[in-house]
Amino acid sequence: MDVLTRAQLLELAPVQEGPHVSLYLKTFRSAPDSHQNPIRLKNLLAEASDQLESLGYDQGDIRPLLQPASELLDHDRFWTHQADGLAIFLARDFVRIYQTGQSFEDEVVVDDSFRVTPLIPATQPSGHYYVIAVSPDSCRFFEGSKFGLHERTLDDLPENVDQALQRERERELNFHSMQPRPQADAQHDTAMYHGHEENALEIDMAAYMRIVRDAIHPVVYQSHAPLIFAGTEEAFASFRENANDLPSLHGTAADGNPDRLSANELHEKTWPIAEEILRSKELQPLSEYEARAAANSATDRLDLILPAAGDGLIDTLVLQRGASCPGDYDVNERTLRHNDENGAELLNLAARLTLQSGGEVVVVDEDTMKDRWAAAVLRCPTSAIALPV
């Protein structure tokens, strides 16, 4: 499964040459539902082909464009390792395929740019969270959302404290074999690993937690999604002390030994903690919007948002999840016409322009938006936005 970054999202924002095909589909992780995955992709590709034909393209253009996705249909290994959603982006000399923990509605969009708005929640922390479940006998890493948790395999994550310390011993031996050590140091190592001193267990646990931290750091640090610890109070205290550079680690743990808990049981214990964190994060951009709107440096008017996005004047653009606003916007004339069913998706255009100019784009639920499609926190007063005379 892919943990999407802002940089990957930004790759999709510019306009490439020729038609752009965006494919979104919900995928299933396990049988029997997972057998539908390639069939549904095949149906979406047929729909994309029909749309391209209706725009005047012939099969000589269509087949090469859709081929990277068509090749997946018979790729058994690809379909045995699915997450909750699949997003495919195709243009001339451009292919991106993402398996995400975010589920999508099946959708095909053929346009002169990629449809990026459905993918945005997969790049923001409000879409998911992580759980690290640790005891001396077990170590498991999970990613999840309000719909559940699934275990992730990380190459460097130890199975338990014994495996972690064995790796540490091997690393130390490899390091010290190249340089002489005083006999006292060797005796100290023996004491640490074989428990010949009273604090050996505490030292072992600290080393274990550092190794766990190192294994999950590349994933959780890049994502910024909340990280919740599942384990005893003593284990959590050791982890916090030895992983204090993980800003996403939450201060409340799911207390208790997690060894015998299934993914569903861990979700029941951790989701109430995660839900509170995620809800708070989701409200932050709108709280800033309300404060800035009072100072005339924020707007929810699309006729202001679009030119501001094009001029790089948006700091944060907040969009309603699933909202659509078709219409036509003339970038040069800065004129907007709503309700044109055959026009561009204007919220997608605003998102692309904002991303290209270094702004942030976040997606929140409909009830949070308070009847708005979009809200923009600006880098300037609204009076500085250039409008048609």
Whether 255 and 239 share a structural domain:
yes
pLDDT digits (tens, 9 = 90+) for 49-71: 999 999 999 999 999 999 999 99
- At 224, list the tokens: 């910024």
What DSSP designation does 7 have? H
Query: Residue 78 sits in a domain of what CATH number?
Result: 3.30.960.10
Whether 175 and 316 share a structural domain:
no
Please tell me the distance from the alpha carbon of residue 374 to that of residue 62, in angstroms, as a whole number.
35
In a domain, 290, yes or no: no
Looking at the 3D structure of the chain, how many domains does it have? 3
Domain of 41 in residue numbering reads as 1-123
Phi/psi at 120 (5° precision): -55, -45
Q: How confident is the model at residue 304 (pLDDT cuts 50, 70, 90)?
A: very high
In a domain, 288, yes or no: no
Whether 143 and 237 share a structural domain:
yes
pLDDT digits (tens, 9 = 90+) for 209-267: 999 999 999 998 877 789 999 999 999 999 999 998 898 999 999 999 999 999 999 99
The mean pLDDT of 183-212, rounded to a whole number, is 63
In a domain, 355, yes or no: yes
DSSP 187-219: HHHHHHHHT-STTHHHHHHHHHHHHHHHHHHHH
The residue that leads in pLDDT, 327 or 24, is 24
Q: Is the pLDDT of residue 176 over 70?
A: no
Burial grade of 23 (CB within 10 A; 0-12, 13-18, 19 or more): buried
The mean pLDDT of 142-149, rounded to a whole number, is 85
Which of the listed residues 104, 123, 142 is the one where a domain comes to its end? 123
Whether 254 and 348 share a structural domain:
no
Whether 266 and 360 share a structural domain:
no
What's the pLDDT score for residue 320? 94
Whether 160 and 261 share a structural domain:
yes
Please tell me the distance from the alpha carbon of residue 259 to that of residue 227, in angstroms, as a whole number.
18
Give this prediction's pTM: 0.70
What's the pLDDT score for residue 195? 45
Whether 243 and 257 share a structural domain:
yes
Strand partners, 363: 319
What's the pLDDT score for residue 169? 77
Whether 46 and 153 share a structural domain:
no
